[in-house]
Amino acid sequence: MSLAIYAFPFLLILAVYLKRQWRIHKLHSITHKDSIEAGLTEPASLHPVIDAAKCLGCGACVKACPEQPAHTVLGLISGKAVLVGPTDCIGHGACKTVCPFDAITLVLGTERRGIDIPVLKPSFESNVPGVYVAGELGGMGLIKNALMQGRQALEAIAKTGVKREGALDVLIVGAGPAGLAASLAAKKLGLSYQAVEQDSLGGAVFQYPRGKLVMTAPVDLPIIGKVHFRNTSKEELLKFWQNACSKNGLAIRYQERVESIVSREGVFYVKTGSQEYRAASVLLAIGRRGTPRKLSVPGEDMPKVVYRLIDPEQYRGRNVLVVGGGDSALEAAASIAELGDTRVTLSYRGDAFQRAKQRNRERIAEATKLSRLTVLLKSEVKAIREDAVLIQQESLNVQIPNDAVIVSAGGILPNDFLRSIGIEVETKRGTALGVSEAPRKRSVKDIAVEVKKKTA
């Protein structure tokens, strides 16, 4: 009798647990199957690889993923963690830091989709002594990671103590997240420096569409200290950076594109479009796709053709063509279509939006369902005319009315620029991050303290 008293609640709890696990398994299996059927199987950059032998299915990685809903990226299938939505993963790395069984490795690229990355030392120094790389160019595109690397790279430069008479201690190329953090670090460390930016403050963030939410997380910035961001918009983030620059008197010059970097007798001569700088060290905090990729078709030089969306409102009531299949293209097409009184066409040469996040694909699907957007897959723009565009879709040529064209076909990697400096570039195909690159592993004590703070 006493055995039955204890057995019943145990079996009840077990039944509830198994039912819950079955539901999780079913939900995550559906997500995984949908990704495979849609051909969305190649992560864009940094992503986790799970060792099934070590994984015990605790689900900590799924809960830690900042992308929402979390199960669109990581899931539990048959009691093991699985990357169910590879293309939705943007490399936060939170999954690795919370895994109590060390079952997750963060890697760059895959066997099918390699990523070109400069060869760097743990100090962020390239094979060219005195030239450092931080941020997106080094494979870390997330704002938090770029901010962190910009600071760490400047600290590494300061430790070398290298100085040259009549030259800056460091010339920082780029004023995006990594360049901003590096400028703050240089000022805090008392180094003589100058930052140059080919566009505007924020780098790639400046080019985001208005109102775009920027996934960020708490980060420590030199001089400023701990900064807390949660789903901050582009405008809010840029305003914060502008205040940081003005309050701290950061030396940043805009609209200056670096044309060449040459080393002579231990000094780097950095030539821009307007002047030449001399520096003991150089930090490249530039993006991976600073130069837009063009279509190379007749009519592309018309004023109505642009390579980024700034404000959807300017296209109200117009016939708009958006070209591309990545997040920027889908965001641009959806933002304009959602105005309600536009006629938007999205042209992409592929047969699926493999590089776009789930939420952007859902926006496109909804706009298409409401007849606000026309999607032309397996298509290519053949000519741009004054009031129309010619598009070839498979074997069919289609001419549609057009007032504006937005080309979001990615950008040209700065490999030629890097090679001109002498920097070696290697292709990562599922290469694990080094210890210095990976997010810091949190101990059980760290996690317990964090949980206690959240529940206090």
Instruction: Note the pLDDT of residue 230.
Output: 65
The residue type of 212 is K
pLDDT confidence tier of residue 187, bands split at 50, 70 and 90 = very high
State the average pLDDT over residues 335-344: 92
Q: What percent of the chain has pLDDT over 70?
A: 86
- Of 3.50.50.60, 3.40.640.10, 1.20.58.1180, 2.40.110.10, which CATH number belongs to 292-411? 3.50.50.60
Instruction: Note the pLDDT of residue 116.
Output: 80
* Higher per-residue confidence, 208 vs 436: 208
Q: Is-contact 296 213, C-beta < 8 A?
A: no
Is residue 57 over pLDDT 80?
yes
Token pair, residue 93, equals 């790395």
- Phi, psi at 254, each rounded to 5°: -100, 165
State the average pLDDT over residues 216-235: 77
Is residue 71 over pLDDT 70?
no
| Model pLDDT for residues 254-311, shown as the tens digit of each residue | 989 999 999 999 999 999 989 999 999 999 998 776 678 889 999 999 999 998 887 8
Domain boundaries, the chain: 2-112, 120-288+413-423, 292-411
| Cα(384)–Cα(295) distance, integer angstroms | 10
| Cα(22)–Cα(25) distance, integer angstroms | 5
Other residues' Cβ atoms within 10 Å of the Cβ of residue 23: 10
State the number of CA atoms in the 13 A half-sphere of 272 facing the CB.
20
Q: Is-contact 86 40, C-beta < 8 A?
A: yes
**Span 120-288+413-423 CATH architecture:** 3-Layer(bba) Sandwich (3.50)
Other residues' Cβ atoms within 10 Å of the Cβ of residue 224: 16
Domain 2-112 identical in fold to domain 120-288+413-423: no
Is residue 86 over pLDDT 50?
yes
Is residue 42 over pLDDT 70?
yes
Fold of 2-112: Alpha-Beta Plaits (3.30.70)
| Cα(147)–Cα(137) distance, integer angstroms | 13
State the average pLDDT over residues 66-71: 63
Q: What is the mean pLDDT of the chain?
A: 84
Is residue 444 over pLDDT 80?
no
Instruction: Note the pLDDT of residue 445.
Output: 43
Least confident of 7-16, 29-38, 195-204, 269-278: 7-16
Token pair, residue 308, equals 């980024």
